[in-house]
Chain A
Amino acid sequence: MDFRFTEEQEKLRTEIDDFFLDNLPSDYRPRGQRGQTMEQYKFWMDLQRKAGAKGYLTPGWSKESGGLGLSDMEQGVVMEETSYWGAAWPGSQGIRVCGPPLHVFGTEEQKSKFLPGIAKGEDIWYQAFTEPDAGSDEANVSLRAVEDGDNYILNGQKTFITAPGQGDYLYTLARTQDVTPKHRGISLFLIDAHSPGVSYSALPTLGVFTVDIFFDNVKVPKDRLLGELNRGFYHAMVTFEFERSTTGGGAGARRGMEELIDFYRNEKPNGKPLLENPAVRDLLADRAIEMELVWLQGWFAAWHFSQRDKLGSPPPEAGGLHNKVVSADRAKQLIDAMGLYGQLRRGSKYCKYEGRAAGSWEVSRSTHPAGTIEVNKIVLGGRGLGLPRIPAKFNKEIRAAIEERG
């Protein structure tokens, strides 16, 4: 057992740290992507390209793909520092979500066409999975892709699609076959975001900015199918594993802690620093505990992933679930400890701590991205702990009853 980083890893950490220290302005505040001004957005696009030129966006990818060819653990170090500085990459979806499956399932042509654009910070991808009737039940995808000569023709709608920037490509699940079980007839497509027939409308949320995407007879060439036809759901499942091994959570929380402590230290209602307030101390301690647990859990997952050939699948882990469950409590503590000022949004007169208490309280209304609390519990109970599930014959009866009713 060893909780130290190697000398090379520490050197790499300093290198990344220096990149941000040199390139971020002294009045920088890590504030996420929601509701960015055009200047903020342009700033991040520029910095993303700078980071991409150095391979910092995708350090674990091969050099041909625009990465640095680093190991899983070194990649973890880069991600950790990137999160510490709260880098709001507009290309984050491509970097984290769409790139890894492209590596695993893409043809050589697809890889050389798409990966460098992500790695260099040029292209912005959306993961377009969710639909009005396919939220938690992802296999219920009904965006239809019908074969037509050298193309597929797509019709349908996606919704709640996270849009961290001006999208160039869509990484999309579509139905290619009507079959039972439903997840055996789904395929993955790589689609130009501005193909004729694709249109967008804004769907702002209390959390991140999202959009609706409509497909009206959209022509997608056959070479844009990712992986095997009708295996898209399984492909997507495999790559969800990649999302588990993230080391950023703890570091991002650490920067937040530093800023919060500093705020409480300097804010002195009636001459007494808020840092001495028992409710504030309680809140800080809770956050510190969770920060430490998230950090450990992230590195354990990254380490386990780095040894996957030897160790196989990771043990069930309910840390993500816990964080979802407590996030509302933490947000409440934060906003309540500011009294009436807590309700002021960023940019308002008299606003304290740049409205972050209100901001994080708003965001804490949404615990459903990447699986609701309830779905998480069901998955962990069944697949994680091996608890019994409702037998298929009952499921069948329920389905028959629904169908009968129409």
Chain B
Amino acid sequence: MDFNFTEEQEMLKTSARDFLEEECAEKLIRDVEAGDQGYSPDLWKKIAELGWLGLVFPEQYEGAGMNVIDLAVLYEEFGRAMFPGPYLSTVILGGMTILEAGTEEQKSEILPRIARGEQIVAMALTEPESSWGMQAWDPEGVTVAAVADGDDYIIDGIKLFVHDAVCADTFLVVARTKSGADPADGITLFLVDAKSAGISITPLRTVAGDMQCEVIFDKVKVSRQNIVGALNGGWAPLDKSMKVGAVMLCAQMLGAGEKLLELSVDYARTRIQFDMPIGINQYIQEHCVFLLRDVNGARWSTYLAAWKIAEGEPCDFEVAVAKAWGSDAHERACWRAHQVHGGVGYTVNDGVLPLYSRRGKTYQLYLGDTAYHKEKIAKELEGWPAPQVPRGKPLGLWEGIPENWIPEWWDTYDKG
């Protein structure tokens, strides 16, 4: 057991914080939200130069060869800085899926381009029906079909809540190529050029003010060569990337939560009402104390899940625990921060708290909210074995013996 971060991780953390404080200030975040791209190409280029876009890719694809724990360290800082940009879409859901399942040709063509900041990928998974909730991130929710047509496939249908669709060069489309008893068997991943004929994109107006879109695929033609992974076997690699993504959202919420705690404690100490700092009131202190819990609780569940992934160990339970706790805890943390800040916490045009709060909602919902992941946990628990039975002779001391308020040894105790 070792809860230390490596020296490299500490350095990454410090340099990321310094860089983002400088380059990703409130003004940039507001500009991006007001713009129609959903990201800042300038900032994107800069983080490519820092090597962050290739952080988890092997060196042969112009990456830095770092692991998912390192990535979580970076994501904590993304969360703290509210970094806006298609990182999750491009690097994790796009890049890591290609790294996992793509052909050598796909990998050596696309991954270096991603690392250099020259290619943006957006995952198109959720659909109008599945967007209601529980099946959004399960293969059951995928109904948009891709039908073989010679050497091509024709994709036809609507994908909803596609992050970063407007700025994407490529869509990773999750489509159904076969229906059967096993919903995961029959899902295929296609890399589709965003400029293909038949694609139309409409941004949705979300609370976060991010660029989630409706993407209509109207008989879009895509070559068989653009399949990532096996035909009908796309779910497994995608699921793996989505788990990484879910943990990164946890890290993002953790980083944002840390900042919310700092802001709230600072405000409670310095805001004067009734001639006293408001933080002297125990009602206010209570909000800060619970904020501490909601943030702290998320830290090690996040890093345990990241560590499991990095070690290649089974991680379904740990990921579900991290995201189930992380999402609800972050919702509470935002609410507590608002309670401490009062009026200044909910102005639209200045102050960062509403920005955190609005983005927080997206982090909570994306790749599975609390209810979704709690059901995953319950599924895991179903598989738990019966408790171990000791080997000693049965003594009949416990089963069916009534419990009294006073233990029997009290009768013979010398009470003075």
> Contact flags (1/0) for B150-191 with A, using CB distance below 8 Å?
000000000000000000000000000000000000000000
Known: A20-B390, A26-B393, A292-B301. Contact between A385 and B292, CB under 8 A? Answer: yes
Q: A2-10, A55-63, A96-104, A152-160: which one contacts chain B?
A: A2-10
Residues of A close to B292: CB separation below 8 A? 316, 318, 380, 384-385
Evaluate contact between A348 and B402: CB separation under 8 angstroms: yes
Evaluate contact between A258 and B387: CB separation under 8 angstroms: yes
- The A-B contact count (CB < 8 A) is 243
For A5, give its contact among B1, B289, B296, B392 (CB under 8 Å).
Answer: B1
Known: A29-B399, A288-B381, A317-B296. Contact between A381 and B285, CB under 8 A? Answer: yes
Evaluate contact between A386 and B391: CB separation under 8 angstroms: no
Per the 8 Å Cβ criterion, residues 333-365 of A in contact with B are 345-348, 354-355, 359
Does A368 touch B at the CB level, under 8 Å? no
For A289, give its contact among B3, B268, B377, B390 (CB under 8 Å).
Answer: B377
Evaluate contact between A28 and B269: CB separation under 8 angstroms: no
Residues of A close to B314: CB separation below 8 A? none
C-alpha spacing A201/B289, complex, angstroms: 38
Does A304 touch B at the CB level, under 8 Å? yes
Does A377 touch B at the CB level, under 8 Å? yes
Known: A3-B1, A259-B387, A381-B282. Contact between A204 and B378, CB under 8 A? Answer: no
Evaluate contact between A303 and B280: CB separation under 8 angstroms: no
Residues of B close to A354: CB separation below 8 A? 398-400
Does B401 touch A at the CB level, under 8 Å? yes
Evaluate contact between B401 and A347: CB separation under 8 angstroms: yes
C-alpha spacing A63/B409, complex, angstroms: 31
Residues of A close to B335: CB separation below 8 A? none
Per the 8 Å Cβ criterion, residues 366-396 of B in contact with A are 374-375, 377-378, 380-382, 384-396
Residues of A close to B404: CB separation below 8 A? 35
Size of the A side of the interface (Cβ < 8 Å), in residues, is: 91
> Contact flags (1/0) for A186-211 with B, using CB distance below 8 Å?
00000000100111111010000100
Does B195 touch A at the CB level, under 8 Å? no
Known: A5-B1, A300-B300, A386-B265. Contact between A258 and B392, CB under 8 A? Answer: no
Does B205 touch A at the CB level, under 8 Å? no
C-alpha spacing A165/B388, complex, angstroms: 28
C-alpha spacing A382/B300, complex, angstroms: 24
Evaluate contact between A284 and B1: CB separation under 8 angstroms: no
Known: A5-B1, A35-B405, A200-B413. Contact between A385 and B265, CB under 8 A? Answer: yes
C-alpha spacing A301/B167, complex, angstroms: 45
Which of A25, A261, A381 has the most CB atoms of chain B within a 10 A radius of its CB?
A: A381
Known: A25-B394, A202-B406, A289-B321. Contact between A322 and B297, CB under 8 A? Answer: yes
Known: A39-B397, A303-B3, A318-B289. Contact between A293 and B325, CB under 8 A? Answer: yes
Residues of A close to B286: CB separation below 8 A? 377, 381
C-alpha spacing A281/B376, complex, angstroms: 10
Does A319 touch B at the CB level, under 8 Å? yes
Known: A35-B405, A387-B268. Contact between A381 and B5, CB under 8 A? Answer: no
Per the 8 Å Cβ criterion, residues 253-298 of B in contact with A are 265, 268-269, 276-277, 279-280, 282, 284-286, 288-290, 292-293, 296-297
Evaluate contact between A346 and B390: CB separation under 8 angstroms: no
Evaluate contact between B405 and A166: CB separation under 8 angstroms: no
Shortest CB distance B15–A (Å): 19
Evaluate contact between A209 and B406: CB separation under 8 angstroms: yes
Q: Which residue of A lies closest to B287 (CB)?
A: A381
For B3, give its contact among A1, A199, A282, A322 (CB under 8 Å).
Answer: A1
Evaluate contact between B398 and A31: CB separation under 8 angstroms: yes
Does A240 touch B at the CB level, under 8 Å? no
C-alpha spacing A84/B415, complex, angstroms: 33
Evaluate contact between A209 and B399: CB separation under 8 angstroms: no
C-alpha spacing A390/B409, complex, angstroms: 47
Evaluate contact between A27 and B2: CB separation under 8 angstroms: no
Does B7 touch A at the CB level, under 8 Å? no
Residues of B close to A166: CB separation below 8 A? 409, 412-413
Evaluate contact between A377 and B5: CB separation under 8 angstroms: no
C-alpha spacing A205/B384, complex, angstroms: 34
Known: A25-B395, A281-B378, A284-B377. Contact between A378 and B285, CB under 8 A? Answer: yes
Evaluate contact between A3 and B304: CB separation under 8 angstroms: yes
Evaluate contact between A388 and B269: CB separation under 8 angstroms: yes
For A386, give its contact among B69, B269, B318, B409 (CB under 8 Å).
Answer: B269
C-alpha spacing A166/B414, complex, angstroms: 9
Q: Which residue of A lies closest to B379 (CB)?
A: A281
C-alpha spacing A401/B388, complex, angstroms: 61
Residues of A close to B377: CB separation below 8 A? 284-285, 288-289
Shortest CB distance A84–B (Å): 9
Residues of B close to A303: CB separation below 8 A? 1-3
Evaluate contact between B381 and A199: CB separation under 8 angstroms: no
Evaluate contact between A28 and B381: CB separation under 8 angstroms: no
Does B132 touch A at the CB level, under 8 Å? no
Per the 8 Å Cβ criterion, residues 237-283 of A in contact with B are 255, 257-259, 261-262, 265, 275, 281-282
Report 27 cross-chain contacts, Cβ distance below 8 Å, ordered by A residue: A3-B308, A24-B392, A26-B394, A27-B396, A28-B390, A37-B407, A166-B409, A204-B405, A258-B385, A262-B387, A282-B374, A284-B381, A285-B381, A288-B380, A288-B381, A289-B374, A289-B377, A293-B300, A293-B325, A303-B3, A321-B293, A346-B402, A347-B401, A380-B292, A386-B265, A386-B269, A387-B280
Q: B residues touching A (Cβ–Cβ < 8 Å)?
A: 1-6, 69, 265, 268-269, 276-277, 279-280, 282, 284-286, 288-290, 292-293, 296-297, 300-301, 303-304, 307-308, 317-318, 321, 324-325, 374-375, 377-378, 380-382, 384-410, 412-416
